[in-house]
Amino acid sequence: MTDTATAPLADIIAARLTESLAPSHLVVSNDSHLHAGHMGDDGTGESHFTVEVESPAFTGLNRVARQRLVNRALADLLATRIHALAIRARAPGEG
C-alpha cells in the first residue's frame, strides 16, 4: 500500500486505480505545471491530473459509467486534494 502521507499524489492515484480496477494499462500524468497560477492551483504542484486507464471492468459500460468507477475509487482525493481530473477510460481492445 502506498504511504499517503509522503507519496506523490500521482502514485496514490495509480495505487487506488490499480486496486479497484485491475487495469491492463494505466498512465497517471501530473498536469499541474500547466495550470500554475490558475484557479485551483493550490501551490503544491499536485492539483491537476490526467488518467489513461484500460480495464476489463469497463467492458460494456458507457463513458459516464466508466468515469463514475474512476471517480468512486478516488472520491476522497477528489473532495480534498485533486482540483481537476481528465479521464480517458477504455476497455481492452478499444482504440
- Domain interval for residue 31: 9-90
- Per residue in 13-35, pLDDT (tens digit) is 999 999 999 999 999 999 886 76
Provide the CATH number for the domain around residue 39: 3.30.300.90
DSSP for 39-84, written as a single string: TT--SSS-SEEEEEEE-GGGTT--HHHHHHHHHHHTHHHHHHT-SE
Q: What is the pLDDT of residues 49-89, one digit of tens each?
A: 999 999 999 999 999 999 999 999 999 999 999 999 999 99
Residue 2 domain-assigned?
A: no
The pLDDT-based confidence of 46 (bands split at 50, 70, 90) is confident
Number of domains, the chain: 1
The angle, 0 to 180 degrees and rounded to 10, between the axes of the packed helices 9-21 and 63-73 is 120
**Does 3 fall in a domain?**
no
* pLDDT of the residue at 42: 64
Residue 38 has pLDDT above 80, yes or no: no
